[in-house]
Structure 1
Amino acid sequence: MTRPVLSVKNLTTSFRSDGDWKSIVRDISFDVAPGETLAIVGESGSGKSVTSMSIMRLLDPAASRIEGSVQLDGRELLTLSEGEMRHVRGRDIAMIFQEPMTSLNPVFTVGRQIGEVLTRHRKMSKGEARKAALAMMDRVRIPNAAQRIDEYPHQFSGGMRQRIMIAMALAARPRLLIADEPTTALDVTIQGQILDLIKELQREEQMAMLFITHDMGVVAEIADRTLVMLRGDLVETGTTEDIFARGTHPYTRALLAAVPRIGSMEGEAKPLRFPAIDPATGEPKPLPPVASDIDRNAAPLLSVRDLVVRFKSGSDILGRPTGAVHAVEKVSFDLFHGETLSLVGESGCGKSTTGRAILRLVEPKSGDVVLDGMNVRELGHSELLRLRRRGQMIFQDPFSSLNPRMTIAQTVAEPLLKHRIVDRKGARDMAGDLLRQVGLDPVMLDRYPHEFSGGQRQRVAIARVLGLKPEVIVADESVSALDVSIKAQVCNLLMDLQERHGIAFLFISHDMAVVERMSHRVAVMYLGEIVEIGTREQIFADPQHPYTRKLLSAVPVPDPTRRSERRNQPIEELKSPIRPLGYEPPARHWREVVPGHLVMHEAIA
């Protein structure tokens, strides 16, 4: 029998709290064989990352205590000195972290950072390390690696920074790779490329891998075996095929039931709520579709025509701009009462800028935005303040959009007082009622944002928006960073509010499976322009533009039987939207596939 690369026995990790030890991970045991991928899954707070940090001995020894056994190729790691562990990290065990921008040193070039691993662990000279770093950059498919080796992390996109992290992790040919949520923050096409790349490099090196994630679609694609964690305990483990087909623990079944699947909406004319989970059995309970009907013969609530947003870029010797970022270019669409229109595309395509321009959070260069008969671009300060009541925005990261110094009561009441909807005496009662509407207990009013989970903070952000009774809400990646079951709850909440209040949503996202479930219509953006728009059924059942097909083919499929498949997508970054000053794009031509389904004729230059 092959000896495992990693053997973890009875691992318990505790942290000091109020003078006592509190266990966060309890009695975890597993093995990882050469060439095998073990996925650890669970929601935030389940102990996944603490397990990986315990294996790497990266926790502060003054505030943490690790018990049990962690053996790498039969060598006990928990008894090694810190100096000995430094030789193990990077050489024998490597780790890819979730956010590469916080893991890469901003003051060193990427070539130097990859080379540092080789000079330290492989005793190469600087010249040899540079050649090897360039070879690694080519191996992880960095375009024009020879020209980019001396660039800094901020000059790379998120997907390319993650490739640099993979190159650093694999440079010394480790026996074990720990990948901690390496694709969670990436666009679906970049995520697909990264997963294909990791699988290919693993096959070449026969490397063992510990893959930590809460995305069950990714688990199905990459893992041989799966370990499910809940609040620090191992609740189920087995082959990935068995877990998906015959998972027995209620929490495992709840995780799988909450995963949206592309194609599951076939035959459904309206958006469909995510199934509720019976807490006793873990079985899904289907919920009815959204009941609201869209009257597209009526005047649209929001009408956008030829919207253009550009930002100055670069400067010459006199400080004058040399170019412009064409962030949004001639974007047009209508949004009707009670409708959800989803804007989809990769990071940098102009989705968020479009949402912000509609609400005048950034100033458009040209175009018309008409909200219920008001031309938004012509409004003065006082009229713009009134507009804020009718159009609101939910941001991607609620922690950065909530004031950490304000209690939840103050946060939710602030817009109510600003717009004089209620006086100070009634503000607290109304804030409590708004919390009830989003599924939170009013006893939480005196807490601060840091005392809430990510899903709860997003509910607070929604409650703050609801108080103004807006007609249009721009939801900018409002569920992308949430765990799968919390994401389902927040999406259901948005659909419930839409049905109850007739709210129109501009839903900005790169999660195509969620978009399919929530949308009435979908618009696909690429390099600042809409390249295809139509109903949900038209876009998902009959995509016409090559970029739309690329987005859909990249979505991870939660089916382990398809794990050996590769997408073979070309490795490329989104083209730059920066153009010389004075540049005007050529006129675009559209083809109507069927009524309401429009696709741009030619590719964008």
Structure 2
Amino acid sequence: MRRGADMTPSVLSVENLTTAFQTGDGWGEVVRNVSFTVKPGETVAIVGESGSGKSVTSLSIMRLLDPKRARVSGRVMLEGTDLLSLPESAMQQIRGNRVAMIFQEPMTSLNPAFTVGRQIGEVLARHTDLGKSQIRAEVLRLMERVRIPNAARRIDEYPHQFSGGMRQRVMIAMALASRPRLLIADEPTTALDVTIQGQILDLIKELQQETGMAVLFITHDMGVVAEIADRTVVMYRGDCVETGSTERIFAQAEHPYTRALLAAVPRLGSMVGQDHPLRFPRVEMDSGRVNALPPVLNPVDRQGTPVLSVRNLTTRFAVGSDLLGRPHGHVHAVENLSFDLWPGETLSLVGESGCGKSTTGRSILRLIEPQSGAIQLDGFDVRDLGGSDLRRMRRSAQMIFQDPFSSLNPRMTVGQTVAEPILKHGIAKGHQARAMAADLLAQVGLSPAMMDRYPHEFSGGQRQRVAIARVLGLGPKLIVADESVSALDVSVKAQVCNLLMDLQERLGIAYLFISHDMAVVERVSHRVAVMYLGEIVEIGPREAVFGNPQHPYTQKLIAAVPIPDPSRRGLRRAMAAEELKNPIRPRGYVAPRRDWQDLGRGHLVMNTA
């Protein structure tokens, strides 16, 4: 909320902040002459893609960089105090007290050996004179304040017993413990599901209204910026290229990079009236030039034979065991799934973490063994295959993983990586395999001259292109793309999605596209299946599921998507602070029979009664 006139004293004033890191070639500046202010009760967003310097800016403000390797200059004024001139002992009294910070991944910020109550209480013990009983009472109040259900019971639980969204609420409670004047939130919702993200955004807005604290919000998501920020600072390659009110920047962005960043953002609802998947516009980030691209017009023949047919697929994982070695229960990860996928079609599986999306993809390829069901894939009865037959089947179906860096061997060049499956399956040998690898890299937009480089020498988007080239070498008819663009910047995400659609139109590949990004799913899909607790609760054509969602969970998912429209900044979703229900069932549990409502044109919805 915007409070006070322009003459209101700032809580934080950053002037000509410059940060340099020591390298083999001397000191290299990664943030240059950044200036901005944050007033009481105001939210200022720093936005930019990876490498823009936004997180380094926040770490410089908090003085969390190693002074032996980082050099910070300029002025950082916190209510009249220059933080850069303070001794470390004085800075320790400010951190967590007058200024608090929450990070992107709460599990790496919380100590797994201590209860959450103890960790929140440590802040109070350090910065207040409260006794033990008073600290516990205040911790309980804080946990209730950040809407953690059953706080009295959960105060003595450990971080691993909390979901990602609830762990982030614990981090917010820790940050608020000393009633800070400034809260720095560094990508606090990036790793969260869309519904949990909506809850956290609402929580930060509500707490800010209650306390009047200033918020510095760091993100790359323009939808989040529109919903939470009063003013926005845009960073590009270490420079602040534009700053102003969020409304002005979204309506009349002046810098080419800001315009390009806005143009690259997928907008939920932009596919109304569009019958086919639509390529993202080609955006040149340096110039801001935007070139519209044609839709994907490959016809999907659903009268023929599907490339993939799944019937009653069930995958469960045993939990615990008794004296006889029998499991206490099972995680019902995938329960009685059935669907078909045709050549040249994209079927997206959407849902929150833990709903069974990734387990479905891995079960289809037999990377995980399902308990029951039938899987027909390009003429193979997948569950009956073994040895060499299973290996032959995997020429027809390949998988692209979320993190290309962990799926590429760091000791192999990208040329060796792309050629490896070609050699393993005996498709080609020696120089011919290397020539095929060079051609595959060219197909995904990488120069064959890059073949002798290693994965660490590529950006995230380039590494994902290498992963795509690797799977293309076997000529698959089905590709399971498991969150394959989730970790990418918005402009790179658009490029990789366009590449996948280009390959589909040219080669007729079918995609099982697994994602929690509803705006991207709407853009790339022919059909959509919504999963909840291991089951598909709604499935149908993309335009039907997004235009006429019928299941309450589908409606909840779509309503939670942040829209890049500053007029929504006062929006409250009124979502209950609840975790995904426990998928563990006792031994002998029999799943209930499900009834479906057919809405026509293949749009099916599970009855909720």
Task: Name the TM-score, length of structure 2 as normaliser.
Answer: 0.98
The 1-side partners of 2:527 and 2:76 are apart by: 51
**Alignment equivalent of 1:308, drawn from 295, 307, 314:** 314
Shift of 1:283: 3.2
Which of these residues, 159, 183, 189, is aligned with residue 183 of structure 1? 189
How far residue 65 of structure 1 moved from its aligned partner, in angstroms, is: 0.2
**CA–CA separation in structure 2 for the residues paired with 1:123 and 1:151:** 25
Deviation per CA, 1:459-514: give whole Å up to 9, x if none.
11111111111100000011111111111111111101111110000000111000
Task: State the one-letter code of the partner of 1:416.
Answer: I
Match of 1:166 among 143, 165, 172: 172
Q: Which residue of 2 aligns with 1:580?
A: 586
CA 1:278–1:62: 2 relative to 1, 3 Å: closer
Q: Judging changes above 3 Å, is the alpha-carbon distance between structure 1 residues 485 and 280 closer, same or farther for their aligned structure 2 residues? A: closer
- Equivalent in the alignment of 1:393: 399
- Unaligned regions of 5+ residues in structure 2, if any? 1-6
Shift in Å at residue 288 of structure 1? Answer: 0.2
The alignment of Structure 1 onto Structure 2 pairs a total of residues equal to: 603
Distance 1:398 1:149 in 2: 38
Alignment pair present for 1:478 and 2:484: yes
Match of 2:4 in 1: none
Aligned to 1:99: 105
Distance 1:525 1:148 in 2: 28
Where structure 1 has 5 or more consecutive residues not aligned to the other structure, the ranges are: none
Q: Which of 218, 229, 246 is the matching residue for 1:240?
A: 246
Contact 2:541–2:601 (CA under 8 A) maintained in structure 1: no
Q: Please point out which of 101, 114, 124 is paired with 1:118.
A: 124
1:528-547 map, 5 Å: 528-547=534-553
Cα distance, 1:279 vs. partner?
A: 5.4
Kindly state the Cα deviation for residue 295 of structure 1 after the two structures are TM-superposed: 0.5
2:387 matches 1:381: yes
Matched, 1:32 2:38: yes
Deviation at 1:316, TM superposition (A): 3.5
CA displacement at 1:425 relative to structure 2: 2.1
Cα distance change on mapping 1:324 and 1:468 into 2, 3 Å: same
Q: Structure 2: how far apart are the matches of 1:445 and 1:100?
A: 38
Over aligned residues, Cα RMSD in angstroms?
1.1
Out of 351-360 and 561-570, give the one that drifted further: 561-570
- Equivalent runs, 1:186-225 vs 2, <5 Å: 186-225=192-231
Amino acid at match of 2:551: H
Cα deviation for residue 455 of structure 1 reads: 1.2
Alpha-carbon separation, structure 2, partners of 1:417 and 1:128: 67
The equivalent residue for 2:502 is 496
Structure 1 match to 2:452: 446
Of 313-322 and 84-93, more deviation after overlay is shown by: 313-322
Q: Please say which of residues 592-601 and 216-225 is displaced more in the overlay.
A: 592-601
Cα pair 2:100 2:175 within 8 Å, conserved? yes
Q: The residue matched to 2:84 in structure 1 has which SS? A: coil
The one-letter amino acid of 2:495's match is Q
1:52 to 51, 55, 58: 58
Q: Distance in 2 between matches of 1:81 and 1:427?
A: 60
What CA deviation, in whole Å up to 9, does each residue of 1:558-578 have, x standing for no partner? 100111111111111110110
- Matched AA of 1:191: Q
Q: Which residue of structure 1 lines up, in the alignment, with residue 342 of structure 2?
A: 336
Matched, 1:130 2:104: no
Change (3 A) 1:111 1:280: closer
1:288 and 2:297 matched? no
The answer to whether the aligner puts 1:349 opposite 2:349 as a matched pair is no
Q: Distance in 2 between matches of 1:69 and 1:434?
A: 50
Q: Return the alpha-carbon distance in structure 1 between the equivalents of residues 393 and 231 of structure 2.
A: 53
Cα offset, 1:182, TM superposition: 0.7
Q: What is the one-letter code of the residue matched to 1:144?
A: N
Partner SS for 1:364: coil
Q: Aligned pair 1:570/2:576, yes or no?
A: yes
- Give CA deviations for 1:241-286 in whole Å, capped at 9, x if unaligned: 0000000111101110011111100110000000112456413211
**CA distance, structure 1, for counterparts of residue 571 and residue 138 of structure 2:** 30
Q: Compared with structure 1, are the counterparts of its residues 130 and 280 closer, same or farther at alpha carbon in structure 2 (3 Å cutoff)?
A: closer
User: Are 1:359 and 2:391 matched, yes or no?
Assistant: no
Please name the residue that 1:518 is paired with. Answer: 524
Q: 1:426 to 1:544 in 2, by over 3 A?
A: same
**Which residue of structure 2 lines up, in the alignment, with residue 62 of structure 1?**
68
1:414 is displaced (CA, Å) by 1.2
Q: Which amino acid aligns with 2:372?
A: S
Name the % identity.
72
Structure 2 residue identity aligned to 1:87: Q
- Return the alpha-carbon distance in structure 2 between the equivalents of residues 480 and 123 of structure 1: 45
SS at match of 1:446: coil
Q: Distance in 1 between matches of 2:573 and 2:328?
A: 39
SS in 1 for 2:599: strand
Residues 214-248 of structure 1 deviation map (CA, whole Å, 9 limit, x = unaligned)? 10000000000001111001111110000000001
CA apart distance, 1:428: 2.3
- CA 1:187–1:279 in structure 2 vs 1: closer, same or farther (change >3 Å)? closer
Is residue 255 from structure 1 mapped to residue 261 from structure 2 by the alignment? yes
Given candidates 446, 453, 462, the residue that maps to 1:456 is 462
- The one-letter amino acid of 1:200's match is E
Shift of 1:443: 2.3
The structure-2 alpha-carbon separation of the partners of 1:279 and 1:105, relative to structure 1 and needing over 3 Å to count, comes to: closer
Which one of the candidate residues 13, 19, 28 is aligned to 1:22? 28
Match of 1:274 among 261, 273, 280: 280
SS across alignment from 1:184: coil
Amino acid at match of 2:83: L
Residues 310 and 324, structure 1, Cα contact 8 Å, conserved in 2: yes
Worse overlay, 572-581 or 408-417: 408-417
Give 1:82's aligned residue. 88
Counterpart amino acid of 1:423?
Answer: K
The offset of 1:409, in angstroms, is 1.6
Residue number in structure 2 paired with 1:428: 434
Deviations 1:1-57 (A, max 9, x none): 211000000000000111510000000000000011110111000000000000000
Which moved further from structure 2: 555-564 or 434-443? 434-443
Give SS of 2:198's match.
helix
Q: Deviations 1:391-428 (Å, cap 9, x if unpaired)?
A: 00011111111112222122111111111111022222
Any idea what SS the aligned residue of 1:567 has?
Answer: coil
TM-score, structure 1 normalization: 0.98
Q: What letter matches 1:255 in structure 2?
A: L
Q: Does 1:505 align with 2:511?
A: yes
Deviations 1:352-395 (A, max 9, x none): 00000000000000000001221100011110001111100011
Q: Deviations over 1:54-107 (max 9, x none)?
A: 000000000010010001001000011111111111001111111111111111
CA contact (8 A) 1:184 1:481 kept: no
Looking at structure 1, the residues matched to 442 and 379 of structure 2 have their Cα atoms a distance apart, in angstroms, of 33
Instruction: Say which SS state the counterpart of residue 69 (structure 1) adopts.
Output: strand
- Residue 78 of structure 1 aligns to a residue in which SS? helix
